[in-house]
Amino acid sequence: FDDLEGALAEWADSLASLAASHSADFLALHLQEVGGTRWREEGSLDAVAHVLDALTERMPDFWSSGMLINLDTSESASRDSTFTALGSLYLVRRGAPMRRVSLWRWAEDEGVEGEFIRLSELPAPLQSRPGLPLRYCRHARFPQAIYPEKVDWSRKGRMLTRWRFEGGTFGMGGEDGAGTSRVVDLVNIHNFHDECNLRALQHCSTTPQASSAYLKSSSSTPVSSSDIDRIDSPSGVEEDVSTGVNSVARKEIAGTAQLSPFAACRRRALALVTADVLALSKGVSPAPAVFLFGDFNFRLDLAAVVRLFCGKEGLRAARALDPKKGALQLSTV
């Protein structure tokens, strides 16, 4: 996005070559920080269109979804903004594969069920210019309650599309096309990063502990601070035998005795996405398989890394530094 004259052509050529070498029929590209730094400097996402054009020019045998992205950057620094800089692009080979692939279209009216639409019945590309067709994807910025300490809100969030692959597609069923169809939810996520290594180091611990994670879905109910807090409380687990949510909610996740504020924020966000996906898949048959892609911003055990390089005394000294004044520098000398 920041080197349209140089890197873009090489990247697009490499992607087209990779698809050809694997005889790929379906490609899902999940991007974060779409637009690079240009949207900050120029106030627009015009670079996104160039990326889309470069791919469609090199892969004319593929149906394209176009770049699915929220273009409203006017209030990108506002807590009320929905901009995430997430972008999703899907390419499906024309011909037999395309006729056996369908995209879920959510209903516009409440109480009305959505439906799968065959790609052969949809425009090509689905989105002629970059934009967000809400009937074909679900997009959300993470709510402020996920990270209440942050003053300047970030663009972190998630985007979901749902696909159906009929028998005979991608190795499913027999060669004659017979077989069970598969429903797949593809989720593009951009999780929170560590804004300060010293703050993360001061809070993290290497003592193992088990905790329960569950958060009710934001797709049906607005998330409050009390909802977010329930993720660390086993007593807050909700019962829902009909959807099997309880079994997921009670599954223990290996954690730490004390998470950094950034790691805790990432866990809340991931739990929220999981709950959202479960809520959106309720009543869909067959039940969708779920693939999570994106930038999870997972980190190493920072305390263990510092102790490995600097020893216990070095770890103690690093934790004593003022995050507002000091800087974390590792040295084995």
pLDDT digits (tens, 9 = 90+) for 133-190: 889 999 988 887 787 766 566 778 999 999 999 875 555 544 444 567 899 999 999 9
Spell out a b/e string for 184-207, using b for 16 or more CB atoms within 10 Å of the CB, else e.
bbbbbbbbbebeebbbbbbbbeee
CA dihedral 89, 94, 100, 104 (to 10 degrees): 30
Other C-beta atoms closer than 10 Å to the C-beta of 115 total: 10
The residue among 311 and 257 whose pLDDT is bigger is 311
Are residues 82 and 70 in contact, defined by beta-carbon separation less than 8 angstroms? yes
β-bridge partners, 187 = 160, 292
Closest listed residue to residue 282, CA positions, set 123, 172, 133, 162: 162
185: phi then psi, degrees, rounded to nearest 5:
-100, 125
321 part of a folded domain: no
Residue 2 identity (one-letter amino acid): D
311 part of a folded domain: no
Average pLDDT over residues 191-214: 65
314 part of a folded domain: no
Domain range enclosing 75 = 4-198+258-300
Predicted pLDDT at 205: 60
Q: What is the mean pLDDT of the chain?
A: 75
Helix then strand then coil, in percent of the chain rounded to 5, is: 30, 20, 50
143 part of a folded domain: yes
The residue among 176 and 58 whose pLDDT is bigger is 58
Predicted pLDDT at 83: 76
Total domains in the chain come to 1
Closest listed residue to residue 63, CA positions, set 135, 14, 123, 137: 123
Q: pTM to 2 decimals?
A: 0.75
84 part of a folded domain: yes
Predicted pLDDT at 237: 32
44 part of a folded domain: yes
Predicted pLDDT at 117: 95
Average pLDDT over residues 244-255: 35
Predicted pLDDT at 330: 60
Predicted pLDDT at 2: 60
269: phi then psi, degrees, rounded to nearest 5:
-65, -45
Query: How many C-alpha atoms does 299 have within 13 Å on its Cβ side?
Result: 25
238 part of a folded domain: no
Q: How far is CA 133 from the centre of its chain?
A: 17
pLDDT band for position 24 (cuts 50, 70, 90): very high
Highest mean pLDDT: which range of 18-22, 105-109, 110-114, 280-284: 18-22
Q: At what angle do helices 46-58 and 7-21 cross, to 10 degrees?
A: 40
Are residues 217 and 278 in contact, defined by beta-carbon separation less than 8 angstroms? yes
- Tell me the residue ranges of DSSP E strands in the chain: 26-31, 62-64, 87-93, 101-105, 115-118, 138-141, 157-165, 182-190, 208-212, 252-256, 289-295
Whole-angstrom distance, CA of residue 55 vs CA of residue 35? 15
324 part of a folded domain: no
Q: How far is CA 142 from the centre of its chain?
A: 11
β-bridge partners, 115 = 105
Closest listed residue to residue 322, CA positions, set 179, 198, 152: 198
Alpha-carbon dihedral sign for residues 67, 83, 268, 183: negative
